[in-house]
Chains A and B, each alone.
Chain A
Amino acid sequence: MNCKKIRDNPVMMTKAASTDSRVLIIGFGNTQRRDDGIGPHVIRQLQEAIGMDNGVRFRSVSQLAIEMAEELYPADAVIFVDATVKVLDGGWQCERLRPYTAPADFRTHHLRPDFLLGMALAIYQHHPPAWLVAVQGDDFGFGREITPAARTRAAGAIGKIIETLESIRKKE
């Protein structure tokens, strides 16, 4: 688990001390394909847990879009939350993202979060530090309910994100 790096990141912590500090958390996935909706599910849970005015901005979308590169640029840090079909130790993981700058396979139906970082870097010569929180899903069939196992895994990820955000706030 590398989310602690968010609070240890000097760029972010400098900006976090300012009044307009913003961590952008983007949950993405199809809420009508069960566990594919883990990202939006995590966003709902986070909004309930920490409210709307804590230096955190939430976005819940069905898929990433290229124009979101414009939203990344002014953020102090970005956390993407997505479902994965991979089997993960502990059911979820957090990884630091690096800009993906050679998308020969660019397709608008499926954008990678690191591609958005690459676009932000290319256009603005800057990208915020960013992480991808991936939560293992089991059932990607039709339906709106997240499976209990995926909810449990998501709860672990949510807890760590909240803990990280709180530690940032305490340091401000």
Chain B
Amino acid sequence: MEATRTITIDPVSRIEGHGKVAITLDENGEVSDAKFHVTQIRGFEKFCEGRPFEEMPVITQRICGICPVSHQLASAKACDAILGVKIPETAVKLRELMHMGQFIQSHALHFFHLASPDLLLGWDADPAARNVVGVAGQFPELAKKGIRLRKFGQEIISALGGKKIHPAFAVPGGVSNGLSPEDGRKILAGMDEARDTCSTALEIIKGWVESNAQEAKQFANFRSNYAGLVDDQGCMNLYDGQMRIVDPDRQMLVQFDPAYYLDYIAEHVEPWSYLKFPFYREKKFPEGCYRVGPLARLYAANALSTPQAEGERQAFWEKFGGPKMRGGSLLYHYARMIELRYCLEKAGVILEGDAVYGTDVRKTGRPANAQGVGVIEAPRGTLIHHYEVDKYGALTNVNLIVATGHNNMAMNRAVTLVARQYIQNGDIREGILNRIEGAIRCYDPCLSCSTHAMGQMPLRVSVYDANGDFVHELQKNPG
């Protein structure tokens, strides 16, 4: 009889940050357990204590180089709540516009550069070519489109915040500057090309899901709750609104003002990961865990408020919304492109209106409340910033719950399911490992954000026997 073995995938590639996967096989070489470990720790929540709260939009955006805007906006909203101000309408529109720029660049980056090698080249393609350069070599025009779409999103951010990464824009009470009509027209000039590229991406993902319906149905498919922000009509809202949690059949479990999130959400801790496991209190852990992000937002909301994206959502639901299909993790890629359509439409609506060009962009004041909660939908899912301050406005407590944390249980479920499906009798092949990574990649996790790390690490697959003794190792070098 063979001994129990553990397989380690470290790090998981084409995600944001560093994590590893450990798979334990039983005596027969079948998967008995799989865990997605987040191996970074950064400690933003702790070292921000004592800082003036108004510094937080600048400090917390440094959590991440991909989604700094999301952290800045959630932070600014938490600071607004401490000030007790309602920010001017122009400031709301400007923040929303920057938020759309962030979604556009982030979703474009994920689809064209992180996910596309799996979708366009195939799970089992030569690992040396199954990467973004390989995609660019085979599909150069598509690669150009992807690059330009991300650039378009980055230029929206830059037009407002002065630079593409870590812009200084959202501040407590509003934003730091307005937008001129001339700059608005410059952004709009790139909209047609961006829409065309989005259409191309939607055609690719629709075609892929239809051609691979069986895999889309089976791959990391599980029942779960879903969560996202909705407006007062029940439509998806990426910047504001109430938080809604629905069950696997999209029946509403609860809808609440996110300022009171602690009444509804708790966090479970496991000793093997720095990433916590948020869950809906009433259903307890682990049954109360939920998914967030593009697919969850589509399921939590009644509809999308822009016409083309709503048309795409309805088409998606008609084809893939059946109970056997809807839990499939690969559908996240499809949902992400529907959201891209929504964000382009939304940015267009904002830029074609008058309110975004106003000059009243900030309310000032002194701290009026001892705490503030800011919640937005980041590209990867719901993002919560919660600050408590003393009478001088110095931070006494900071709590950050990011999308990757909300999806922690989902990623672990996905990894376990794929491992069980593709590893049998202890047979481990590179393509199988990529499928396990691909299951995580569906959720576009950002581990830098979620642990609030450093270093280059090779992909390592380590096998241990039942006694914990090293047996075998495979390694994917960084080059």
Contacts and interface: CB of A to CB of B under 8 A. Distances in A.
A125 B138 CA distance: 11
B476 A123 contact: no
B21 to A, nearest CB: 16
Contacts, number: 102
B398 interface: no
Given A102-B479, A104-B476, A104-B478, A122 B16 contact: no
B66 interface: yes
B154 interface: yes
A122 B13 contact: no
Contact of B13 (A106, A110, A115, A123): A106
Interface stretch (B123-131, B259-267, B274-282, B387-395): B123-131
A65 interface: yes
A71 to B, nearest CB: 10
Nearest to B106: A108
Contact of B128 (A69, A102, A122): A102
A122 B448 CA distance: 29
Name the residue among A102, A104, A123 with the largest chain B CB count within 10 angstroms: A104
A70 B131 contact: no
B378 interface: no
A141 interface: no
B436 to A, nearest CB: 15
> Chain B: interface residue count, which band?
35 or more
Contact of B165 (A62, A107, A122): A62
A32 B478 CA distance: 27
A20 interface: no
A109 B133 contact: no
Contact of B14 (A32, A70, A106): A106
Interface residues of A, number: 27
A119 B127 contact: no
Contact of A106 (B129, B132, B150): B132
B264 to A, nearest CB: 32
B195 interface: no
Interface stretch (B141-149, B246-254, B345-353, B400-408): B141-149
Interface string A122-148: 111100000000000000000000000
A167 interface: no
Contact of B132 (A65, A66, A67, A70): A66
A48 interface: no
A97 interface: no
Given A65-B164, A119-B133, A104 B128 contact: yes
Contacts of B131: 102-104, 106
A53 interface: no
Given A104-B128, A107-B13, A108-B114, A67 B147 contact: yes
For the complex of A and B, list the 6 residue pairs with the smallest distance between their C-beta atoms, beginning with the closest. Answer: A122-B136, A105-B478, A122-B137, A67-B151, A102-B128, A123-B140
Interface of A: 32, 61-63, 65-67, 69-70, 100-110, 115, 118-119, 122-125
